[in-house]
Each structure stands twice: as C-alpha cells, then as structure tokens.
Amino acid sequence: MTTKTSSLDRGDASGHGSRRAPIVAVQESLVSINVSDTRVMKNEVGYVLLGERRLKSEVLRVQNQVADMQVFEDTSGVKVGDQVELTGEMLSVTLAPGLLGKVYDGLQNPLALLAKEHGFLLPRGIEAESVDTERRWEFAPAVSTGRIVLPGQILGTTPEGIFEHKIMVPFDEPGAVELSWINRGNLTINDPVARIVRPNGAERTLTMAQRWPVRRPLPERMLRQRVAERIYPTEPLTTTQRIIDTMIPIARGGTACIPGPFGSGKTVLQSLIARHSAVDIVIVIACGERAGEVVETITEYPETRDPRTGGSLMDRTIIICNTSSMPVAARESSIYTGITLGEYYRQMGYDVLCIADSTSRWAQAMRETSGRMEEIPGEEAFPAYLDSSIKSLYERAGLIQGPDGQTGSVTLIGTVSPAGGNFEEPVTQATLATVKTFLGLSAERAYKRFYPAIDPLISWSRYLDQMSDWYAKNLSPTWVEDVKAAHELLHRGDEIYQMMQVTGEEGTTMTDFLTWQKSVFFDMVFLQQDAYDPVDSSTPLARQKRSFDLVKEVIEADLAIEDRDTAQDFFTRLNSLYKNLNYSPDDSAEYARYLREFEDLVGSKRMKVADAEQEANVQSERSDFETKR
C-alpha cells in the first residue's frame, strides 16, 4: 500500500475529465480561479499544481466566471497564474471493507500509513489509499443472477473483524436494475464482484468499493425513491451512565449535544459513552481539538478493552482526526467525512454512534472561511448560514430501514466548547434548537468533583415522553412519571438550598430540610458515577432500575426524624452505604450485605402508619394556622 493516489481516490465520476483553470487570486487557504473556459460545480475537487506537488482543494462558490476554492494544505508559494486541475468529482470518501480500526484525517487519508512512509512532519501534497487495495476479502454472494435488485440492496458479504461487511448495490443507482453476473471467492476491493444491467440496457461492473460525496446524505436518493424509509426513534440508546439513561435519555438514532467549559469532563464523558454504549460501530471525529487530547484518544482506544467483545475497542472504531494545528479547511470537512462513514455502516443494518468533538471548532473553521470569502457575517462573525448548516448536519442522524428490511441507526452526539462556558453564544444556541437531548456540563459541579458534571437542573431530553411506551413495557408503567418526579425533587431541593443561603438552615421548616437532604442524597448516590471504578463506571439498565427504585423508596418515605442533626447523620450514613453498594458487583456478598444494611437503616427511620397520619394532621393544622395568620 503506497501513498500514490489511486483511481478510486481521484475518480472521474462525472465524466468531465480533468480540466485546468488559472489562479487569479490567493488569500491564505482560499484561491480564486478563472473558469470562463471550463465547466465547474460546487464542492468539486481540484488540485493546485505547485511544481511536483498537488494540493487538494474544493470549490466553495461559483460567481460568474470565477470559482473560489478552499485548499486543504498550506498555500505558501502558490501565486497568481498557477494552474488548478479540476477532477469532475465532488469531495468524496471511499466506502469499502477495511475501514474499521483506522485513524484518518478529515480527507480520509490513513495517518498511520502517512507517518510510516513520511515521518510525523508530513510534506504537502501527500495522499494515500483510504483502504488497502491489495488485501483480499472472502466475498460470498447473497443473491443469484437474474434477480432485480434495488439501490442499497445487499449483493453479498465479507467478514470484517467481528462484523459481516455487506456489499450493496451502489447508492447512486437511479432505480431497480437486473443482476446479470455475480462473483465469489478471495477478492480485492478493486476486483469485479458483480455486473448489473439498467432498464435502458446499459451495463455497470461493480467492485466492493464505491465512492460517495461527503456533503450529500447517503440515503437521500433512496428515501426519495421510497427504497429506504426513515423510522421514528422509539427506543433509548443505553450508555450505562445513570444520569443519562434514567434522567436525560438519548434515543437510538437520536441527536444530543454536550456543551461545557474547559475542564468540565467532556473528554472523559465521551470516552465512557463510546466505550459502554449499546452500539455496533463507534466513529470519533476529533475536529479541531488540541493535539494532546487527540493523541490521548488514538493511543487510548487500541489499549482499551471492549466490554462487549473482550477485544480492543479500536476493532469497531474509526477515528477521524483533525487537530487545531491542521489546516482549517480540512477541519471543516472532517465532520462530513465521519458522518458519511457512519451512514454507510447504518445502511448495512448496524447501530452507529458518531461523536463529534467539537462542533465549535468546526463552526469556527466555517467562520474563518466565510470571512475570507467576504460573506455577510451573522452574530459574532459566524456565517449567516450557521444555523442551517448545524441543522443539516444533525438531520443526517436517525433510523433507516433499507430495502432488505434491515434497520440501522446513526446516533450523533456533538460536544460544544463555548468560550467561558457561555451557553448563549451562537453555536450552542443553534445546536440547542436542533438536538433533542441537551447534556449541559457545569463548571461548578466539576469543581465540586460531581462527575459526570452534567447539570440536571439545566439539562433536558425531549425523548423521555417520546419513548414512554418502551419504558412502560420494559421498565415500569410509571417510569416517565417517576423520572419527572425526581426532576421536580432536584429543582425543589435547589430552591430550598438557595433559600438556606439567605436564612440559614434554621430558617426552613423540617419538611423542607428533609426534602433538601433527599435531593442531595439522590444527586450524590445516583446521578454521580466514578469513571475509574470497574463496577460503578458502567451501570446496566436493569441495575439502574433497581437502584432508582431503592432511591425512590427513600425519597417517598415518611421519615421519623425530628431534628436537623439527626437528619444530617442519617443521610451521611445512608450516602456512605449506598456508594459502597454502587461499588459492589451484582450477586456478590458485599452487594447483599450493603443492601441489607441500607434497608435496615431506612426501616429504622421509617415512620409508622399511625405516626405518619398524626404528622400529616399536625402539618395540615400548622399550614392552616400560617395561612390565617
């Protein structure tokens, strides 16, 4: 496998052939070319010819006889009069077996191969095969000749690690075609595997690889033709993080954002979600993050044990890596590359999790390019189309049912890095208007070491009611109501705490004081998890339900506690017991012992029925007296 660009990487999909156009202006990574003598289309790929080097670029705008192109490399030495070779192909990626386990840049160049052949300081104009064209794959046909097949329909399969990689009819086919021939055996991705015949008699030879433009949603044409169908998300994506799965759920095939200031634990949280979520494929898009964080990610994942398979987490992961020190244009394209790869595996019927870290850097790249093109700026100099760009990105998530009946999903979680933790800035606001789960990280909670630092008072999920039928069937008929009651307890506890900041503990009633203690208890033992504990770092949904029911028992209990000192002592002991319970494996002797001690402690303070009725009467009389006074 070499770094010489292959026909796959520089295909001529439009049939225009390569044409050349002269450069008429250069502004940092933006060049303008005269296209009066040639045809050009938006998002077409071109190469700036700089001696022996070929600098990859993309057409962003065509006005009259001038096209503006963003160059994905440093443009030092490029001058007016240099030539640009246009390829006739839109910015595309290769879809084929061999993608899993790779680390790519934003243009799908495998970084390990580039580093091996050129060292870590890469020269300009270097590209590499996206997938190994020499490796052979055992292809097994799934359909017979003479059959009518649809775009996206499975032709055959080949093993790719622990997965069955499905080779499909090209997604750009205009309609149904006849399969006239199909191959089998040990083949490379460039060997012919099938031949199809269109209704007009035109033949097309297929390989295991196909190209797809990254800025065009992969199922777009199939959805228009009703070959594929978009399905309403009705099931949760289990992340094993209690505060997410129970309180602020994300749907399988849904969208979420994680905004938070520096140091609030975004990196650790997204690593936990990637490692433990109930998905098949994980795609991590490191878009403009600091090089140190990216290096940590690409070194950590191969060494991390996959809790689902027992192997390496990297075996079912793809990393798209564009650090803040890489060219801004490549940073902007990296998110589209990652989401396109996710759509490809979704079409096979797999559940895919895409984590984009961070969309703020992606938006900043758009702002920089827009400024160079002298477009009319919006708020904080972001382009006026920022809102629509964010919406169109998140709309590519979802559940899709393919022509063979298989259903796959892409769940898209974007982290946002607002300056100073300001959630009112344009990127965060545009994202909140788009996604259906908001996991807001709090610097205050991070400072207190309350991890995950998701603030339950400001975070929300629109999926809770949407998935109520699933919860009623699989967890409890009253699950949604119970979760909403827990949210109300947290808000009421915060109100009481704010009041105590002014009046002190003595300025509150005993009932309010116990309500506050219960809200703190719920926060401490259920919403917080230890990311570095082998048991507490990941809580299966069944254990979450048991834990939630135990905590709910305390919250709803009428406690025979008459003074604040007793209440503080009781809840301190309760917190300690429950945290030990969280650290104990299921079915272990420690778990059974802590559970028994916990239940005994709660039972010792539980008010008898007669006492509870008497206390209720006293509280009612006290309330009436206060009202009359």
Query: In angstroms, rounded to a whole number, what is the distance separating the alpha carbons of residues 219 and 225?
Result: 10
Burial of 93 (0-12, 13-18, 19+ CB in 10 A): buried
Of 104-118, 182-196, 538-552, 588-602, the range with the lowest mean pLDDT is 104-118
Q: Which of 116, 123, 157, 117 is nearest to 50 (CA)?
A: 123
According to the model, what pLDDT value does residue 612 have? 46
Per-residue confidence band for 629, with pLDDT thresholds at 50, 70 and 90: very low
465 closest CA partner among 230, 232, 234 = 234
Confidence of residue 443 (pLDDT cuts 50, 70, 90): very high
Q: Which residues, other chains included, contact 119 with Cβ-Cβ below 8 Å and sequence gap of 6+? A: none
Q: Residue 176: its pLDDT value, please? A: 95
- 130-176 pLDDT, tens digit each: 999 999 999 999 999 999 999 999 999 999 999 999 999 999 999 99
Tens-digit pLDDT profile for residues 65-121: 999 999 998 899 999 999 999 999 999 999 999 999 999 999 999 999 998 888 878
* Residue 585's pLDDT band (cuts 50, 70, 90): very high
* pLDDT at 397 (0 to 100): 98
What's the CA gap between 302 and 498, in Å, rounded?
46
| Predicted model pTM | 0.92
d(CA 81, CA 196): 45
Question: Can you list the domains of the chain with their CATH numbers?
Answer: 19-92+101-118 (2.40.30.20), 137-208 (2.40.50.100), 242-411+428-441+452-474 (3.40.50.300), 479-628 (1.10.1140.10)
The predicted-structure confidence for 50-61, as pLDDT tens digits, reads as follows 988 999 999 999
Three-state DSSP class for residue 409: strand
pLDDT at 6: 36
What is the mean predicted confidence (pLDDT) over 614-626?
50
**Which residue type is seen at 58?**
E
Instruction: Check residue 618 and give its pLDDT.
Output: 46
Summary mean pLDDT of the chain: 91
Residue 361 CB-half CA count within 13 A: 25
Mean pLDDT of 543-556: 96
Q: Judging by DSSP bridges, how do beta strands 66-71 and 53-63 pair with one another?
A: antiparallel
Q: How many CA atoms within 13 Å lie on the side-chain side of 293?
A: 22
Residue 16 has what pLDDT? 46
More confident residue, 136 or 620: 136
**Quick one: pLDDT band at residue 122, thresholds 50, 70, 90?**
confident
Token readout for 98 is 């061999």
**pLDDT for residue 327:** 74
Which helix (DSSP H) or strand (DSSP E) does residue 257 occupy? strand 255-259
Q: Give the chain's radius of gyration (CA, Å).
A: 29
Please report the pLDDT score of residue 10 as a whole number.
Answer: 41
Residue 620 pLDDT greater than 70, yes or no? no
Please report which helix (H) or strand (E) contains residue 133, including its range. none
pLDDT at residue 623 in the model: 52
pLDDT confidence of residue 245: 98
The larger pLDDT score, comparing residue 5 to residue 98, is at 98
Chain segment 471-499, per-residue pLDDT in tens: 999 999 999 999 999 999 999 999 999 99
- pLDDT at res. 416: 93
Q: Which of 11-20, 558-567, 617-626 has the highest mean pLDDT?
A: 558-567
pLDDT at residue 12 greater than cutoff 70: no
Q: So what's the pLDDT on residue 610?
A: 40
**350-393 pLDDT, tens per residue?**
999 999 988 998 999 999 999 999 999 999 999 999 999 999 99
**Between these two residues, 11 and 111, which has the higher pLDDT value?**
111
pLDDT in tens, 510-522: 999 999 999 999 9
Task: Please give the Cα distance from 525 to 537 (Å, whole number).
Answer: 13
**Taking Cα atoms as reference points, which of 232, 233, 236 lies closest to residue 483?**
236
| pLDDT exceeds 50 at position 2 | no
| Residue 605: predicted pLDDT | 87
H or E element that contains 626 = helix 609-628
The mean per-residue pLDDT over the stretch 437-448 comes to: 95
* Residues of the chain above pLDDT 70, percent: 93
Q: Which residue has the tokens 């207190």?
A: 448
